[in-house]
Structure 1
Amino acid sequence: MGLKDELTTFCHDVFHSKWETTEGRKVPDEDSKLTLKNTAITIEGTVLYADLDGSTAMVDGYKNWFAAEIYKTYLYCCARIIAAQDGVVTAYDGDRVMAVFIGDSKNTNAVKAALKIKWAVDQIIMPKLKARGYANCNFDLKHVTGIDTCSLFVAKTGARGANDLVWVGRAANYAAKLTSMPSSYTYITASVYNKLADEAKFTNGKSMWETVKWDKFNNDTIYRSSWHWSFV
């Protein structure tokens, strides 16, 4: 079969085959029983995107090994914090990480992870960077985290030997778009905020969040926080 015939057959099968869906009880990964045919897993999940801001300027303005050290320390801290909050890293995309949280506390856990990532940047990564004593280095690590929640439809895409999972649903899209907002904040949708435990909303009776309009996208009301969550 030639390449044209193979692609034609594949597209025909996708558009004409019925979907077989199962309800997920854990975050799907590449080892899940998903195929390149029309199989999918549905799951109620909260999606977190943590993204470095200004990475293009960093790559253009600093040595390649310096940029690599920033990527490595930031993404490692993100991944470990996400896991500690019962989240699962589902993808790395250059200078950002995507994670999914499930369960009754998924929104609170995701928000705690975001606020802990901010603490790690301010209290671990940057102090260690400055302690290294790089000459004439005025680098300031800026980052943004976005979080949304919804029902996710997870399918396998790509080709045999080169495939990945696609997370279909508003949350994956919105969480990613929120990272284009001004840096140094954690941004969450109203769907996430309304399901947060009070411990992730208030500190000593003071709100950690302020409402803003998402004027760069759909003008919805969203919430942002400049607070962090310390840990030892």
Structure 2
Amino acid sequence: MIHEPTCGIFGPVSVADDIAKNAADTFGTAWTTRAGMVVPAANDLRMANDAVEFETATILYADLDGSTDLVEGNKWQFAGHVYKTFLYAASRLIRKHGGTIVSYDGDRVMGVFISPRQRNEAVSCALEINYSVKNHLQVELRKQWSTDFQIRHVIEIDTSTIRATRTGVRGDNDLVWIGNAANLAAKLTALSADSPTWITRRVHDYLDNPQRLGPGGENIWRKWTWGQHKDEEVYSTTYWRRFS
């Protein structure tokens, strides 16, 4: 087997040696941590054990539902239209509500909200994404394609302490987000797209009436027991919010 060596002080270093040295350096070095005031870019952090901490941050994942069937059962051009329009709408609305887009992963976009009203902004964003999918994306899809395909999505939101650190190799690296909200919001993806917006109790308990109640004053949220995660209390809604 031929390895592409890197260059060390005393000559070429094998990939195996390079990985072993990185592991030794990483595990053997203490972390430096500073409080975050803004969402950092990758270049704001060193490649060493350097982290930015947010005592409270809200994570929003917006995912297409059924993307495997979408790709396998349709022309690639059709799937491309759905991917591009959904990710554009979700990203545009994350920014509209003061969130920062921190990653794209196939059919999913991740946003981070750190303002004092971060939970309400994230939920308001989710309700507007639901409106846009049904009243913008689906309408335009039907104009251009003869199909009964329904665009379905799931949005997951959670809040916790979050730390950002830089990972990867030099010349090809990005931020990774470490914290319960980043993990649990991603796991909520597995819940039903019949209710497109899912939030944890940590989000629900901080919502103001515009995000908690419908136009007639009705509670828009249904409470569930999340059996896949310690019977945690989570909430879902089918509501949307019109926006201009």
Q: Same fold (TM over 0.5)?
A: yes
> What is the aligned partner in structure 1 of residue 179 from structure 2?
169
What residue number does 1:39 align with?
50
Q: Which residue of 1 aligns with 2:118?
A: 106
- Aligned-partner Cα distance in 2 for 1:48–1:61: 28
1:121 and 2:145 equivalent? Answer: no
2:198 counterpart residue number: 187
**Are residue 95 (structure 1) and residue 107 (structure 2) matched?**
yes
Amino acid at match of 2:210: E
State the TM-score, normalized to the length of structure 2: 0.91
Give the structure 2 partner of residue 199 of structure 1: 210
**Deviation for aligned residue 1:103:** 1.5
C-alpha distance in 1 between matches for 2:193 and 2:219: 20
SS state at 1:31 partner: helix
Larger Rg: 2
Q: Secondary structure at the match of 1:207?
A: coil
What amino acid is aligned across from residue 17 of structure 1 in structure 2?
A: T
Matched, 1:158 2:168: yes
2:80 to 68, 77, 97: 68
Counterpart CA distance in 1 for 2:57 and 2:79 is: 32
Q: CA deviation at 1:28?
A: 1.7
Deviation track 1:105-148 (CA, whole Å, cap 9, x = no partner) reads: 0000000000100000011000111122x23x111001000000
1:16 equivalent to 2:28? Answer: yes
Q: Which amino acid aligns with 1:169?
A: G
Q: Return 5+ residue gaps in structure 2 as ranges.
A: 1-12
Equivalent residue pairs, number: 229
Secondary structure in 2 aligned to 1:91?
Answer: strand
* SS of equivalent residue, structure 1 residue 173: helix
* TM-score between both structures, scaled by the size of structure 1: 0.96
> RMSD across aligned C-alpha pairs, in angstroms?
1.0
Inter-partner Cα distance in structure 1 for 2:230 and 2:71: 31
| Counterpart secondary structure, 2:79 | helix
- Which residue of the partner structure matches residue 50 of structure 1? 62
The aligned counterpart of 1:30 is: 42
Amino acid at match of 1:195: Y
Alignment-mate amino acid for residue 127 of structure 1: V
Per-residue displacement from partner, 1:81-108 (whole Å, max 9, x unpaired)?
1100001111000001100000110000
